[in-house]
């Protein structure tokens, strides 16, 4: 399993779009920093993530809270704390950072 991390807003660059093109079934995506804006319910970015087959998506809880996005998080995106981030990093055979 490959862990993809995306730290840029989908409104500022193509990092998420590039990630979504290469994410294979069984992969995981972790949105962090401004990448958590992709987790907003109803956004094109969240819809694109939902369209992936067998790819789990997480948003770093601290970054979601820092941006006030808790009330509008898409249901298919799971919150991850720092312990979850470490666990995902160690469970995956590699980490691909998109920025």
The domain segmentation of the chain, as residue ranges, is 2-98
76 DSSP 8-state letter? T
Measured CA to CA, the distance from residue 73 to residue 52 in angstroms comes to 17
In tens, the pLDDT along 4-31 reads: 999 999 999 999 999 999 999 999 999 9
pLDDT at 33: 98
Give tens-digit pLDDT for 42-82: 999 999 999 999 999 999 999 999 999 999 999 999 999 99
Judged by DSSP in three states, 14 sits in: coil
pLDDT at site 63: 98
Tokens of 77: 């995106």
Q: What is the average pLDDT score of the chain?
A: 96
Determine the pLDDT at residue 2: 96
pLDDT for position 43: 96
Cβ proximity of 31 and 58 under 8 Å: yes
Cβ neighbourhood burial of 54 (10 Å; 0-12, 13-18, 19+): exposed
Considering the four listed CATH numbers 3.30.420.10, 3.40.1260.10, 2.30.30.100, 3.30.950.10, the one that applies to the domain covering 2-98 is 3.40.1260.10
What is the distance between the alpha carbons of residues 84 and 99, in angstroms, rounded to a whole number?
Answer: 21
Res 95: pLDDT:
96
Phi, psi angle pair for 58, to nearest 5°:
-125, 155
């Amino acid at each position: 399993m490959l862990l993809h991390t995306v730290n840029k807003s989908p409104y500022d660059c193509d990092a998420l779009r590039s990630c979504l093109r290469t994410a294979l079934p069984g992969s995981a995506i972790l949105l962090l920093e401004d990448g958590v804006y992709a987790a907003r319910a109803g956004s094109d970015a969240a819809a694109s993530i939902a369209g992936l087959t067998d790819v789990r998506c997480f948003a770093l809880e601290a970054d979601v809270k820092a941006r006030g996005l808790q009330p509008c998080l898409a249901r298919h995106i799971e919150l991850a704390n720092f312990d979850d981030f470490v666990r995902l990093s160690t469970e995956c055979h590699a980490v691909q950072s998109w920025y």
